[in-house]
Amino acid sequence: MPIAERPVQSPLSAEVQAIVRCLSCDSRLDSDQYGGFLCPACKRVYPNSRGIAHFVDEQHYAASFGFQWQRYQQTQLDHDEHRESERHFLEKSALRPDDLTGKLVLDAGCGAGRFAEVATRWGARVVGVDLSTAAEVAARNLADRDFIAFQADVFALPFAPESFDVIYSIGVLQHTPDCEAALKALDKYLKPGGLLVVWLYSGYNNWYRFSDIWRRCTLKMKPETLHGLLKVAVPLSYNLQQGLKRLPLAGHRAANLVYHLFPINRQKDHEARMLDTFDWYSAKYQSKHTYEQVFRWYESMSMEDMRVGEVPVAVRGRKPLRGS
Ligand SMILES: C[S@@+](CC[C@H](N)C(=O)[O-])C[C@H]1O[C@@H](n2cnc3c(N)ncnc32)[C@H](O)[C@@H]1O
């Protein structure tokens, strides 16, 4: 391609170029002319396809997430009249715009990019990684932002140690085979003085007990089959609960019974309800955690200045400065 026709490198892509590393030999990577990367030392290639560089060959256990985010690409993205994801981000990350403005941030498990959308709006430069093809969706959704997405695994990230000012991971690590190990894997990429923020499913609830029984069946289904089933079951259960609530006397109790027997997400928006219910019943791994547990993990990483968010279990901590 003649030089004049080559896309101009954004400041973020130059910054990412400086921190991206080979998974095999840790060498700095060269970008190739197609938007992928090549290791000059061991010659390993990380191809660009469908708009992003791929640091994994397949989605592994996260294929249901790939299906989900390809199907519901923009359902949770904020727009002018709707700032639901920003509200969730504030509650689940305990971050404020000042924590992110001007910072290089890693969104670990970015999904379709709803929180990266908020972070870039607050002035952060964000690198999003996701094990599933959701990373492609995020790249498309945030094409006009200071954002770069890679398909990559939090257990083997292609970055130099101490690359990021802030790392957040919201609703992700409980979907890995080992939540504690995943959190501790992220610590390596955080600069001293940087913030590590996580939100995990709460171990304090008990409404999901019945869903664990249903999950034994739903996890055996193909994503397409489960989605087809939920397209019928979710409106049925939701409308039944709404109808029961209108009945005098025991109406609310009956609605709650239906909810406990077949837990579904109860947001007003039908698409959001479908998306979150599908997510709940399809994710292969789904662990739940307590503050005690997560604080222990943070303490074992010597994190300081620990805070909790508004919605359990949300924890943030600061990596100590060297010598402090
Ligand atoms: C429930 S979604 C949350 C997405 C996003 N954080 C949000 O809240 O919209 C969980 C995401 O974690 C990703 N994920 C699971 N295991 C991962 C891993 N080992 N490395 C990177 N991403 C992973 C899934 O592919 C999925 O997109």
Whether this model's pTM surpasses 0.85: yes
Q: Which atom number of ligand 1 is nearest to the Cα of residue 113?
A: 9
Q: How far is the CA of 110 from the centre of ligand 1 (A)?
A: 6
**In the prediction, which pLDDT does 135 show?**
98
User: What is the rounded average pLDDT of the residues 149-168?
Assistant: 98
User: What is the rounded average pLDDT of the residues 21-38?
Assistant: 95
Ligand 1 pocket test, pick from 74, 95, 131 with the greatest ligand atom count within 8 Å of Cβ, gives 131
Q: Which atom number of ligand 1 is nearest to the Cα of residue 68?
A: 27
Indicate which residue's Cα is closest to atom 9 of ligand 1. 111
**In the prediction, which pLDDT does 62 show?**
96
Q: Which atom number of ligand 1 is nearest to the Cα of residue 69?
A: 27
Pick the CATH number of 60-203+300-318 from 3.30.390.50, 2.160.10.10, 3.40.50.150, 3.40.50.970: 3.40.50.150
Indicate which residue's Cα is closest to atom 16 of ligand 1. 176
Contact 173, 109 (CB under 8 A): yes
Banded model confidence at residue 207, pLDDT cuts 50, 70, 90: confident
Contact 172, 151 (CB under 8 A): no
DSSP H helical segments within 246-306, as ranges? 251-261, 270-282, 291-300
**In the prediction, which pLDDT does 208 show?**
79
Q: How far is the CA of 63 from the centre of ligand 1 (A)?
A: 11
Q: Is 157 left (phi over 0), alpha (psi -120 to 50) or beta?
A: beta
Q: What percent of the chain has pLDDT over 90?
A: 90
Q: What is the pLDDT of residues 242-270, one digit of tens each?
A: 999 999 889 999 999 999 999 999 999 99
Contact 151, 52 (CB under 8 A): yes
Q: What is the pLDDT of residues 271-292, one digit of tens each?
A: 999 999 999 999 999 999 999 9
Please tell me whether the peptide bond between 16 and the residue prior to it is cis, using omega within 30 degrees of 0. Answer: no
Q: How far is the CA of 8 from the centre of ligand 1 (A)?
A: 30
Average pLDDT over the chain reads: 94
DSSP H helical segments within the chain, as ranges? 11-19, 63-71, 84-93, 97-100, 114-121, 134-141, 179-187, 209-218, 223-245, 251-261, 270-282, 291-300
If DSSP codes are grouped into helix, strand and coil, which group holds residue 61?
Answer: helix
Contact 10, 143 (CB under 8 A): no
Residues of the chain with CATH 3.40.50.150: 60-203+300-318
Of 147, 308, 292, 283, nearest to 218 (Cα)? 283
Q: How far is the CA of 83 from the centre of ligand 1 (A)?
A: 21
Length of the chain: 324
Contact 269, 291 (CB under 8 A): no
Contacts of residue 210, Cβ cutoff 8 Å, sequence gap at least 6: 260, 261, 262, 263
Q: How far is the CA of 128 from the centre of ligand 1 (A)?
A: 10
Write out residues with Cβ below 6 Å of ligand 1: 62, 65, 69, 109-111, 114-115, 129-132, 134, 153-155, 170-172, 175-176, 279
Q: How far is the CA of 37 from the centre of ligand 1 (A)?
A: 23
| pLDDT for 174 beyond 80 | yes
C-alpha 224: how far from chain center: 22
